[in-house]
Amino acid sequence: MTPRDEKRAPERSPAGVIQPDFATLPRKVAEGARPNLVGLTRDGLHAALIEAGTPERQAGMRTAQLWQWIYQRGVSDFSQMTNLSKDYRAMLDRTFEVARPQVVTHQVSADGTRKYLLRIAGGHEVEAVYIPEEDRGTLCVSSQVGCTLTCTFCHTGTQKLVRNLTPAEIVGQILVARDDLDEWPVAGQRPPDRRLISNIVLMGMGEPLYNFEGVRDAMKIAMDNEGFSLSRRRITLSTSGVVPEIPRAGAEIGTLLAISLHATTDEVRNELVPINRKWPIADLLEACRQYPRLSNSERITFEYVMLKGVNDSDADAKRLVKLIAGIPAKINLIPFNPWPGAVHERSDWERIEKFAEIVNRAGYASPVRTPRGEDILAACGQLKSATERARKTRAQIAEEAGLPG
Ligand code: SAH
Ligand code: SF4
């Protein structure tokens, strides 16, 4: 403690502005109801600090300092934010919190995949999955608790939508994974050349484009240069095809795009991905053609889950390449990941290989996604929270999807 702290003399900023006496400012909120600083946009954080009594002329600098502590250093305890005065830290501590979702369980697969079950406000649970690979480490994050959509092959689709995640809860998944991987830079040490979390995919629970603002604000934080500073080209937003939001995503979020196509005729897609009845394949592909910055280095990923006898014929493969002709694209073939009670089966490997060959011959890279974390039900489309396992009734499914029952 410095003598100045002891006497609580007014602090002077470099510009000569008298600081309010943060030690005696009134307590703003009741214990346990402190607003979380995580997930606020930069403007939001700036406004919150002013509201809490920070002089306007200093708020820009305080915002930058807090931003760095929270997102660059992973610090959540205000008392460790040593470039802020002691009284200011005490005021922050009385007024705000820097909170992450609570980690309920944490499973590690035999292949190194890690799944986090997180508890969020209201007692709901969501999952995030970290997938280490040779050349990258990908964090798969959730955007909603459950999903309003009802794709027949997806475990999340059997869980009712409970609510959208807040930006804090989306960003919180990154914070939790970084904590677990011990990936916060140490002061005075050069950060390692390789990042453990080098990529983010919005492929967990929920439809990101039905939580547009939450996802946008969270990804802005993930991309901010003073924080995690992930390139927008290392983030992929996957959508089942919420066509009217795709141009907005291009303009306001700017990440790469993945489309859950999964079928080559409207007839089959109407069944597998029921949102297709609202926005059919032609509309979806038109929105893709218009997506900004499309190029060979910024291709759209078309995801295609391989379902035995449903969408895996040679004719499907040929139709697929015809459909996407002219769009800078790669095709991601996902062997169906089974879950308890699923009606579909995974296509045989020979079938998947034959399908991939046709796609490859047409000039598309078509990596077959190796199922990861299967032993802990962490693979794509298997996420579903333990507390909300009640299966939807047929009527609920129809109603939520806006379809006739
Ligand atoms: N709601 C978004 C993002 C989450 S799902 C979307 O649908 O795109 C992420 C990906 O996993 C999607 O391509 C989805 O179709 C796929 N998927 C869902 N269930 C699956 C399963 N059981 N096996 C393989 N992929 C699945
Ligand atoms: Fe929802 Fe995506 Fe699952 Fe479809 S595949 S039910 S959109 S999470």
Confidence band of 5 (pLDDT split at 50, 70, 90):
very low
- Ligand 1 atom with minimal separation from the 149 CA: 1
No. of helices (H) and no. of strands (E), the chain: 12, 11
- State the Cα–Cα distance between residues 34 and 168, nearest whole angstrom: 14
| Ligand 2 neighbourhood includes 168 CB (under 6 angstroms) | no
pLDDT digits (tens, 9 = 90+) for 35-78: 999 999 999 999 999 999 999 999 999 999 999 999 999 999 99
Confirm if 390 and 396 have CB atoms less than 8 A apart.
no
- State the Cα–Cα distance between residues 201 and 278, nearest whole angstrom: 25
| Ligand 2 neighbourhood includes 156 CB (under 6 angstroms) | yes
| Ligand 2 neighbourhood includes 151 CB (under 6 angstroms) | yes
What are the DSSP calls for 22-76, one per residue? Answer: TTTSPP-S-TT-PPB-TT--HHHHHHHHHHTT--HHHHHHHHHHHHIIIIIS---
Residue-averaged pLDDT of the chain? 87
Burial 321-333 (b: 16+ CB within 10 A, else e): bebbeeebbebbb
203, 246, 332, best to mutate for ligand 1 pocket (most atoms within 8 Å of CB):
203
- For residue 266, the tally of other CB atoms under 10 A from its CB is 13
DSSP label at 105? Answer: E
Ligand located closest to 380 CA: 1
Output Rg (C-alpha) for the chain, integer angstroms: 24
Ligand located closest to 141 CA: 1
| Ligand 2 neighbourhood includes 303 CB (under 6 angstroms) | no
Say how many Å lie between the CA of residue 275 and the centre of ligand 2. Answer: 10
- Ligand 2 atom with minimal separation from the 157 CA: 6
Residue nearest to atom 16 of ligand 1 (CA): 381
- State the Cα–Cα distance between residues 160 and 216, nearest whole angstrom: 23
pLDDT digits (tens, 9 = 90+) for 83-121: 999 999 999 999 999 999 999 999 999 999 999 999 999
Q: Is the pTM of the predicted complex or chain greater than 0.85? A: yes
Q: How far is CA 8 from CA 20, 56, 85, in A?
A: 10, 21, 11
Q: Which residues contact 290 (CB under 8 A, 6 or more apart)?
A: 246, 247, 250
| Ligand 1 neighbourhood includes 334 CB (under 6 angstroms) | yes
Six-digit token string for 394: 């047929």
pLDDT digits (tens, 9 = 90+) for 274-298: 999 999 999 999 999 999 999 999 9
% of the chain exceeding 90 in pLDDT? 75
Confirm if 301 and 255 have CB atoms less than 8 A apart.
no
Q: How far is CA 222 from CA 145, 178, 212, 234, 238, in A?
A: 20, 12, 15, 10, 16
147, 238, 272, best to mutate for ligand 2 pocket (most atoms within 8 Å of CB):
147
Tell me which of 405 and 109 has the higher pLDDT. 109
Closest to 87 (Cα-Cα) out of 25, 22, 27, 18? 22
- State the Cα–Cα distance between residues 206 and 319, nearest whole angstrom: 28
Please tell me the predicted confidence (pLDDT) of residue 372.
79
Domains of the chain, each with CATH number or no CATH: 21-95 (1.10.150.530), 102-396 (3.20.20.70)
| Ligand 2 neighbourhood includes 311 CB (under 6 angstroms) | no
Say how many Å lie between the CA of residue 205 and the centre of ligand 1. Answer: 9
Say how many Å lie between the CA of residue 290 and the centre of ligand 1. Answer: 23
Please tell me the predicted confidence (pLDDT) of residue 373.
79
> Among all residues, which ones are annotated catalytic?
127, 380
Helix locations, 114-265, DSSP H: 167-181, 212-223, 246-252
pLDDT digits (tens, 9 = 90+) for 388-398: 544 444 445 44
Say how many Å lie between the CA of residue 336 and the centre of ligand 1. Answer: 9
Six-digit token string for 126: 């969501």
Six-digit token string for 32: 């346990």
